Amino acid sequence: MSKLLSVSVSKVSCRSPGMARITFEDLAALDDEQLDDDDVAQNNPEPMAEEEQERLFAHWQAVASTHQVSLPQEMSGPIQQMTRQNQAQEQEQVPYVPVSRHEKLEEVQYEERVYPAGKWACITKGEDMYEQSISMGFMKLMRYICKENSAGRYLGMTIPVMNEIQMLQDGKGFMKDILTAYYLPAEFQDDPPVPTDSEIAIVQRESIRVLSRVFYGTTTEETISRQISLLWELLGSTDDFHRDVYMVAVYQNPGVPCRRNEIWFIRRDP
């Protein structure tokens, strides 16, 4: 299968700017800071003029180039549509019920939540590195969200987008196959539009109880591994949570200098 992105690697963090692979955040909504107000009119999801389309795609090419990524022309349409719609409407949050919160010196260390069962559009990719797998996966999900579905319409963006990680048997690295999942908006939960891409599956995921800890910056295998270690240090010795699978929740786009993410530990069934 031909790759949608041509990628080379380097790393970036909140404290040390640099290059990284394009990820979900790089293809999500643009902040007002990223484009002038006349680039994309708020509350106006009408088709863009040709000049506006060119300017928008050029903007995303510039964003991609900072990550050493070549953005293919066929992504121009989905980028335009997601940009217009996200300027005109709020992103829907994946529903959850808070359970508890652990604080230290008035700062939240982690919190426990229950996410109810629901339908997700899921795709699994197994590229050479974590960043590339989630890039490949979300590029396809983005096209599903933007009309490549049986409803023939834009479905709406929900946050967070989830990436599920399986650990190697020795616990020292990630398996290559990474599942990327998009929660279907409430209006489509009962009757999900069918993807035109056969790699995308609509999955009824069961309710899960997770321990969540916020972190900021890019999501690479290195940064995620560090966050996993930090949360285990806070928890100490416990068998309440799985050690062979974790989730990364992604909330924000590249216009935010230190993007918000969360590492999720999954509680074992009682």
pLDDT band at 235 (very low <50, low <70, confident <90, very high): very high
Going by the DSSP 8-state scheme, the letter that residue 223 receives in this structure is H
**From residue 22, how far is each of 133, 144, 220, 244, 249 by CA, in Å?**
10, 18, 11, 26, 16
Q: Which residue has the higher pLDDT, 250 or 53?
A: 250
d(CA 113, CA 19): 33
Which are the contacts of 148, defined by CB distance < 8 A and separation ≥ 6?
195, 196, 197
Q: Which stretch of 56-60, 117-121, 230-234, 252-256 has the lowest confidence by average pLDDT? A: 252-256
Q: What pLDDT score does 239 carry?
A: 93
Residue with tokens 């990680």: 165
Segment 9-49, tens digit of pLDDT: 333 335 433 334 444 444 444 444 444 443 333 344 566 67
pLDDT for residue 2 is more than 50:
no
**DSSP one-letter code for 73:** G
Q: Which domains does the chain have, with CATH numbers?
A: 6-88 (no CATH), 92-267 (3.20.80.10)
Gap between the Cα atoms of 183 and 242, Å rounded: 22
Q: How far apart are CA 168 and CA 77, in angstroms?
A: 38
Confidence of residue 253 (pLDDT cuts 50, 70, 90): low
**Residue 263 pLDDT > 60, yes or no?**
yes
